[in-house]
Amino acid sequence: MSDTLSSKSKKTLMCPSADAEMSGSVIFGIVAGTPEEPHVVHLDRVKAIPQELLALEAPVKPSEIFRIAATCIENGCMHFDGTNCRLTERIIDGLPAVSEQLPACAIRSKCRWWYQEGKEACFRCQQVVRDNYNATEHLFNTVDPSAYSQV
C-alpha cells in the first residue's frame, strides 16, 4: 500500500507524530501508561493546543503528554522520501501490532500514515510517543532517522 498516494495526496494530510509548534497542530491523543511503557489513548475529537501550554517553560514538552498531529510538511521532513513517510514504513517493519482492531481516531480521515499504509499503521500507532525518553534500543533504532543515510 506504500505506493504513491495518487488522488488521495491532493488533500492536505496530517503527520500523526508532530511537534506542538508545527503548523496546524492539534491534540488527538493523551500519553498514558508508565514512563517505561507509554501508550496513546485516542480522543474522540481533536483539540486545539492551549497557548498557555506552549508558553510554559516547564521541563515537560507537550509531545511527552499529548499525541499531536499537524499538517505534513512532506519534503521539509527528514522522514519523507519525496513520495512516502519512511517513518511509518519503519514502524510497520520494526514494531509489533499492539491492536487487532482499528482504534478510534479523530485524524484518520487526514492521516498520512493511514493513507500510506492503512490499518497496519493504525495497529501500531498507540505505541508511538514522539518524545519517549525511556524507549527501548529496538524502538529507538526503529524510528531513528539516521538510518536513512545508511541506505
pLDDT single digits (tens) 58-104: 677 888 889 999 999 999 999 999 999 999 999 999 999 999 999 99
State yes or no: pLDDT of 2 exceeds 70.
no
In this prediction, residue 47 has a pLDDT band, given cuts at 50, 70 and 90, of very high
In this prediction, residue 4 has a pLDDT band, given cuts at 50, 70 and 90, of very low
Q: Are 67 and 127 in contact (CB under 8 A)?
A: no
Q: Mean pLDDT across the stretch 133-149? A: 72
pLDDT of the residue at 124? 95
pLDDT digits (tens, 9 = 90+) for 104-115: 999 999 999 999
Distance from the first to the final alpha carbon of the chain: 21
Question: What DSSP element (H or E) covers 44?
Answer: strand 38-48
Q: Are 73 and 32 in contact (CB under 8 A)?
A: no
Q: Are 65 and 31 in contact (CB under 8 A)?
A: yes
Partner residues linked to 38 by β-bridges:
33
This prediction has a pTM of 0.83
Partner residues linked to 42 by β-bridges:
29
Of 33, 40, 56, the residue nearest 129 (C-alpha)? 40
